[in-house]
Amino acid sequence: MNGGGGNDTLNGGSGKDTLTGGTGSDFFVYAALEDQGDILEDFDTSQDKVVMTALFTALGYSGLNPIADGYLRFLAVGSTTQIQIDPNGLTGGANFVTLATLNATAPGGLGLGANVVFKP
């Protein structure tokens, strides 16, 4: 899926997709764990956002920091970063699944509320 120029909202839906936002400020939206496995080709940490508001609502998460609460982590894998979700947080052990892989993006470039949104 290619957003092209301008500001876009991309939602690949269920299953693995390759998403390219193109130029502009783009929102990559995730509503369910079934949306996992996407590759974000051109995520720009200064403009784009990964929006997981509906996903965290579906998980029943109401906390303030999903990283500290064990629901979310950013994992460096070579020159990419995987955004991983554990649907039960600190309960029941680490059961992380890779929601999206961001090409040419370092974990340090991602920030809650800045370019990773989990609350409305």
Res 92: pLDDT? 84
Q: How confident is the model at residue 120 (pLDDT cuts 50, 70, 90)?
A: confident
Res 85: pLDDT? 98
Containing H/E element for 53? helix 53-58
Q: pLDDT tens, 56-107?
A: 999 999 999 999 999 999 999 999 999 999 999 999 888 999 999 999 999 9
Pairing of strands 72-77, 49-51: unpaired
What is the spatial distance between Cα 4 and Cα 116, in angstroms, rounded to a whole number?
Answer: 21
Structure tokens at 30: 């995730």
Using the predicted structure, report yes or no on whether residue 42 has a pLDDT greater than 90.
yes
Structure tokens at 9: 């909202």
Termini Cα distance of the chain: 25
